[in-house]
Structure 1
Amino acid sequence: MDNENQSEVVPKKRESSTGLDPKVAALLCYVLGWVTGLIFLLMEKENRFVKFHAWQSIITFGGLTVLSLVANFIPILGQIISFLLFPISLVLWIVLMVKAYQEEWYKLPVAGDIAENQLK
């Protein structure tokens, strides 16, 4: 068979302006919570997928950080809230990193909508 006549249709992967594979960059948006989300939001210029995950990381983990700080000022109820926030944050952190690495536009109910609106 003539290999010149065979053309493979391979969609060109949209690169990240960070120089990383977009799915790796999206995963890294979540590694240190809102901090790495902010770093990647400032670094990424073009890739909407990475920017979406950066925004979602900032909104989600920034909100959880603020909630945890506020809860620490409430005597007994605050300690219970902080105790419950840790496993919720951990599960969210793992799920969001896995979904980002699988190249999914996984949208959390409130934070995902806000992040999506920031892309417009």
Structure 2
Amino acid sequence: MKDRNRNLVATISYFAFFITGIVVFLAEKDDKFIRFHALQSIMVFGGLFGISVVLGLLFGPFSFLGIISSLINNVIWIAWLIIWLVSMVKAYRGQIFKWPIAGELAEKYA
């Protein structure tokens, strides 16, 4: 039962992207598995959010780039959705799945 609860908390760290990652990371002090998933959530989804904001600021003033901006934004959102789903499934199954860069950093600092 403990492993199931642990996996559920790790899964919740991805639920509302980096927001629940922050909450879970601040609440959990001991469990490295949960802290890993919370940190990875913060890094991956915080990074994707930052990229979305920067691209919005870059492409926003240039309406003639609207189609390019829309295509890039759609690709980012599809990637966001895939990363979100894979991360939650892996966490629920009790697996440590490392996304490039963020996974290594999360493992180091968890």
TM-score bracket for this pair, using the shorter chain length: 0.7 to 0.9
The runs of 5 or more residues in structure 1 that have no matched partner are: 1-11, 15-19
Work out the percentage of aligned pairs sharing the same amino acid.
Answer: 35
User: 1-side partners of 2:2 and 2:55: how far apart?
Assistant: 43
Distance 2:80 2:103 in 1: 16
Matched, 1:41 2:25: yes
Higher RCO (C-alpha 8 Å, min separation 6): 2
- TM-score scaled to structure 1, two decimals? 0.80
> Cα RMSD between the aligned structures?
1.7
TM-score (norm 2): 0.87
- After superposition, give the CA deviation of every residue in 1:28-84 in whole Å (9 maximum; x if it has no partner): 000000000000000001110000000000000000000000011222243332121
* Structure 2: runs of 5+ lacking an equivalent: 60-64
Give the match for residue 102 of structure 1: 93
**Aligned counterpart in structure 1 of residue 37 of structure 2, from 49, 53, 56:** 53
Number of equivalenced pairs: 103
Q: 1: CA distance between counterparts of 2:72 and 2:36?
A: 28
Cα distance, 1:13 vs. partner? 4.9
Equivalent pair of 1:22/1:50 in contact (CA under 8 Å): yes
Q: Which residue of 1 aligns with 2:83?
A: 92
SS of residue paired to 1:46: coil
Looking at secondary structure, tell me which structure has more helix per residue.
2
Which of residues 2, 25, 28 is equivalent to 2:12? 28
Larger radius of gyration: 1
Is the partner of 2:58 in helix, strand or coil? coil
Query: Runs in 1 of length 4+ with deviation above 4 angstroms?
Result: none
SS of the counterpart of 2:103? helix
What does the per-residue CA deviation read over 1:1-34, in whole Å, with 9 as the maximum and x for residues that have no partner? xxxxxxxxxxx957xxxxx811000000000000
8 A contact 1:72–1:79 mirrored in 2: no
Paired AA for residue 78 in structure 1: S
